[in-house]
Amino acid sequence: MRLALPEFRESNRCQMSDTPAGPNLNELQQRLGYVFRDVELLKLALTHPSIAHEVSGPAPHNQRLEFLGDSVLSLVLTAELYEKFNNVSEGPLTKARAQMVNRRTLADQAQRWGLGDYLILSRGEESSGGRQRRSALADTFEALLGAVFLDGGFASARQFILRLFRDSFGELTSIPSLDNPKGELQEALQVKSSEAPRYEQTYATGPDHDRVFECAVFHGGVELGRGTGKSKKAAESQAAVTALQKLAKREEDKKL
């Protein structure tokens, strides 16, 4: 269902006319692959709070959109993780979502799409390197998501977010970059069985100073995955990652 907020959008249009002229946003919209029906929402998303120091009267900026975008992003990714990984428990899902929406990731997204080039800043913020400040970039990315939500509704925001994050994390067919894959695998398996996974070294090769190990992980007498690494611990971790990916793929195939 699309959320229509006509009074909010009309109010933004009137107020933003009092702020300094921003850059031409057509190029940015082409980069993003999304064309705003109300480009003033995009302009608002790019307006840094420092602008309030250089205009007379109320100066709208992107903090409210940042607040909204944070919630939209969390909801979209939470729902996607929940649907795709129904064999994974709350703990791993929470950790995966936290990694996907942390400030570093959001700033990376903003840099990737060149949002800093289009920020509307005060002169003081500009001179102090505000366009490259990662905290400002992360805030702006969240504000952009809030603007897309208001402009096109939840369906448009969801499509936009998943496209950007699939480019970064793949097709979301596996839990992204787990910090503790062995722990996550055990937690996932314990949903259906109290038996712990068992790791076994299958071979090691190379000279003592440059060994490569391969390990396999088993559960219920069935091999779930294999992995290699420069240490036995690293190989076991990679085997756990492979096993998690296979479990996720198996659950996905069940839906087809």
Q: C-alpha angle 114/120/125, rounded to 5°?
A: 100
Q: How many CB atoms lie within 10 A of CB 174?
A: 20
Domain termination site, one of 142, 169, 196:
169
pTM higher than the cut 0.75: no
What is the model's pLDDT at position 38?
A: 96
Mark whether 82 and 153 lie in a shared domain.
yes
155 with 202, same domain: the answer is: no
> Residues with catalytic annotation?
70, 142
Residues 50 and 98 placed together within one structural domain of the fold: yes
Q: Is residue 144 situated within a structural domain?
A: yes
Question: CB-side exposure of 29: number of CA atoms within 13 Å?
Answer: 16
For 144-198, how does the pLDDT look when each residue is reduced to its tens digit (9 = 90+)? Answer: 999 999 999 999 999 999 998 876 666 666 666 566 788 888 878 887 788 999 9
**CATH number, domain with residue 27:** 1.10.1520.10
Q: Mean pLDDT, the chain, as a whole number?
A: 83
Longest Cα–Cα distance of the chain, Å, equals 72
What range does the domain containing 154 cover? 6-169
Closest CA to 46 of 33, 27, 63, 30: 63
Instruction: Give the DSSP letter string of the chain.
Output: -----HHHHHHHHHHHTTSPP----HHHHHHHT---SSHHHHHHHTB-GGGGGGSSS----THHHHHHHHHHHHHHHHHHHHHH-TTS-HHHHHHHHHHHTSHHHHHHHHHHTTGGGG-B--HHHHHTTGGG-HHHHHHHHHHHHHHHHHHHHHHHHHHHHHHHHHHHH-SS-S--S-S-HHHHHHHHHTTT-SPPPEEEEEEEES-GGG-EEEEEEEETTEEEEEEEESSHHHHHHHHHHHHHHHHHHHHHHHH-
Reference 146, options 106, 184, 175; nearest CA is 106
Structure tokens at 254: 């069940």
pLDDT digits (tens, 9 = 90+) for 88-136: 777 778 878 877 888 888 998 999 999 999 999 888 888 888 888 998 9
Q: Is residue 234 classed exposed, middle or buried when 0-12, 13-18 and 19+ CB atoms within 10 A define those classes?
A: middle
Rounded Cα distance between 73 and 156, Å, is 12
Q: Are 235 and 128 within one domain? A: no
Q: 223 and 248: one domain?
A: yes
Query: Do 57 and 165 share a domain, yes or no?
Result: yes
User: Same structural domain for residues 209 and 109?
Assistant: no
Q: Per residue in 64-89, pLDDT tens?
A: 999 999 999 999 999 998 888 877 77
Given this model, what pLDDT does residue 143 score? Answer: 97
CATH of residue 202's domain is 3.30.160.20
Same domain, 185 and 121: no
Taking 60 as the threshold, does the pLDDT of residue 255 lie above it? no
Looking at the fold, whether 52 and 30 belong to one and the same domain comes out as: yes
Nearest to 124 by CA among 44, 52, 216: 52
Identify whether 176 is part of a domain. no
Q: Domain check: are 229 and 147 in the same one?
A: no
Distance CA 174, CA 129 (A): 37
- Give how many domains the chain has, as a whole number: 2
Per-residue confidence (pLDDT) for residue 9, from 0 to 100:
43
Residue 75 lies in a domain: yes
d(CA 149, CA 34): 12
The pLDDT of residue 21: 46
Asked whether residue 16 is domain-assigned, the answer is yes
Instruction: Report, in angstroms and rounded to the nearest whole number, the Rg of the chain calculated over CA atoms.
Output: 23
162 and 191 part of one domain: no
Q: Quick check: is 175 in a domain?
A: no
Q: Residue 197: what pLDDT?
A: 95
State the pLDDT confidence band at 242, using cuts at 50, 70 and 90: confident
Out of 121, 142, 169, a domain closes at 169
Q: Are residues 92 and 130 in the same domain?
A: yes
